[in-house]
Chains A and B, each alone.
Chain A
Amino acid sequence: MLKIKNLELLCLQYPDLVCKYSADGELLSIEGSFLLNRVYGDTVYCKEYSITINVYDNRLPYAKETGNKISEKYPHRYPDGGLCLGVDAEIELTCLENGLFDIEKWFERFVVPYFFSYEYYMDKHQYPFGDRSHGKKGVAEFYMELFNVDSVAKVYKCMRYTLAHKYRGHFLCPCGSKKRIRYCHKTQLYNAQRPEVKSRINKDYLSIKEVCSYEHNI
């Protein structure tokens, strides 16, 4: 079961969101509306959305916009109205802390920006913070950004190291910079070795391996 924290904080900040529980008190979903009132550069959006967030046992919460405000033509919307918030690993690395999923952080860091990006894209025909390619390629792009490397092959090496070794700051960095880890990818590698994200990293490692062998014949 996904253990959630900061649910009260989320409901306090967005009082029109209502939690629904099962008979035995387990959180099933969060439903209602919220007001996006955010700024980036000179652009402000103040807009209301209806949303349903389903909470599952063994996967990340799944958010749907329920007021028909997200165009079916938008590239980052699932056919059932689900929101393509971001790469799962990015969400887990950001929101999973000591085995608890910070739902308020998830809402602020992924759900709210999703709607902001959508509005921005519809108005200006570009994404304010960019977007990721669909599927495995997008996952690889995330890891390239996380490890701040310029190739999928380097990502692969960093991930392989993450899974195979304990953190050793004096080791040479797997990215190939010839620097010691503590002076190079210390934070990223340390963060990726946290036990709560290990299974995600392992899963992504296998799919990156596929991308890598396709692109670089490794």
Chain B
Amino acid sequence: MSIEQRKMDIVRLIKDLDLPHSMYENAVDKYEALGKRLNDNGLECDIYPQGSFATGTVVRPIKNGEDANYDLDTVVVVHQDKADTSAESIKKTVGDIIAECKRYKKSPTEYDTCWTIDFADENGVGFNIDVVPCVPEDDSTLTRLKEKSSPQTISYVEQSVAITKKTTLTTYEWSTNNPLGYKEWFDEINSPFLKFSRDQRKIMFESRADAAEIEEIPSDEERSSLQIAIQILKRHRDVYFSRLNSDLKPISAIITTLAATVAKNADVNLHPVDLLAFIVEEITSYAGLDIYFESTGEYEQRSLILKHRGEWILNNPVNPEDNLLDSWNQSNGEQKAKAFFGWLKVIKENFMGAFILNDDSRFFSAMCESFGNDFVNQSEIRKSYCPPPKPVFPAKPWRET
């Protein structure tokens, strides 16, 4: 297979890890119904998708080595002044209304910042919806955040919210967050990539005789090369760290923020695999370098991950008080940093390196390692790359002493 064909097949593969169309519609119905229910019960609020659900970078997760239910995150912005209520009251009011709903088979589970509603399996694959209750951030906090923001990011601050955080069994606190601003930040970077892929698709449609039969993809379910590159990174991370049985896995926000930041300087016409190569190269080239320019008194703008006076820093682009690498500065932080850069090295060598292998089976083998053995072996692409497998003889390993 040519390198181009291999790249196309990887995109096909990753598409199968995205939220299926029917499930996407189902999930939207569910969270919209939840929003209506909250309002009908007197809680004036809006509900929005957030996280990977909002940025269109969902991939099917792996739990205990097996493909698991999708986790979809939403945020419920309650229309109340922060000063007139409390974190405890907001969290419990939302939780109580969800718990009273007889449509849900299981009671919601409370976590530090959210309620999780576990929906019954749908065609063997299910999803959970995490609901994060919050209120708009107060004026004094907004002023403080604006003071700390750069000119490029100040416009997002207005959308900051105060989410509830359960700190002990009985106490709750407010915590500043900005999921809506993050979506806007991401969408702005993603927009030219999305436009390019939409245009490409249009050209492809028009050149095909059966163009009229091809269904339009709903805009929320379109995927740009940037979104696909992030999905590849996330899936590779899940498989890599699951096999290592390690809790050092980098969170999705780190990956998405780094990828989108790098993508600002990338050509929009790059294939997702080439964009991924560019992203990984950029992150590893500049990460951890404490580059200080005496002439300007500023740090190099292209530095993505900074290590300043021994502290790892990756600022949340829409929340100046959030260092996404906080956990790297804690007890096993250096291990996390090491694991992260080790993982990027594996992507470069084993995943990117596989595209130039002569042998299709070897390429396929690298894809199994990258995206999960069972998933890749059960995919459509197997038969194009690998002869049918032979049965294995049973044998029990034994060690002398």
Contacts and interface: CB of A to CB of B under 8 A. Distances in A.
Interface of A: 35, 37-40, 42-48, 75-76, 78, 83-87, 90, 108-110, 112-114, 116-117, 119, 122-125, 127-135, 138-139, 142
Contact of A44 (B362, B373, B393): B373
Contact of B65 (A44, A117, A123): A123
Interface in B285-310: none
Contacts of A131: 396-398
A38 B365 contact: no
- Residue among A44, A109, A130 with the highest chain B CB neighbour number at 10 A: A44
19 contacts: A37-B387, A38-B392, A39-B390, A40-B392, A42-B374, A44-B377, A44-B382, A46-B377, A47-B368, A75-B399, A83-B397, A84-B397, A86-B396, A112-B392, A116-B392, A129-B395, A130-B396, A133-B398, A142-B398
Nearest to A76: B397
Interface of B: 64-65, 243, 361-362, 364-365, 368-369, 373-374, 377, 382, 386-387, 389-401
Counting from the closest, the 5 A-B pairs by CB-CB distance are: A113-B395, A76-B397, A38-B392, A129-B394, A84-B399
A52 B399 CA distance: 18
Contact of B401 (A116, A132, A134): A134
A48 B401 CA distance: 28
B394 A119 contact: no
B243 A123 contact: yes
Contacts of A127: 396-397
Contacts, number: 117
Contacts of B396: 86, 117, 127, 129-132, 142
Contacts of B373: 43-45, 119, 123
B400 A134 contact: yes
Contacts of A43: 373-374, 377
Nearest to B362: A48
Contacts of B368: 45-47
A47 to B, nearest CB: 5
Contact of A128 (B361, B382, B394): B394
Contacts of A86: 395-398
Contacts of A83: 397
B389 A38 contact: yes
B384 to A, nearest CB: 13
A109 B400 contact: no
A35 B395 contact: no
B220 to A, nearest CB: 33
A37 B389 contact: yes
Contacts of B65: 123-125
Contacts of A116: 392
Contacts of B361: 35, 37, 46, 48
Most buried by A among B362, B368, B382, B394: B394
Contacts of A112: 392-393
Nearest to A78: B399
Contact of A85 (B386, B387, B395): B395
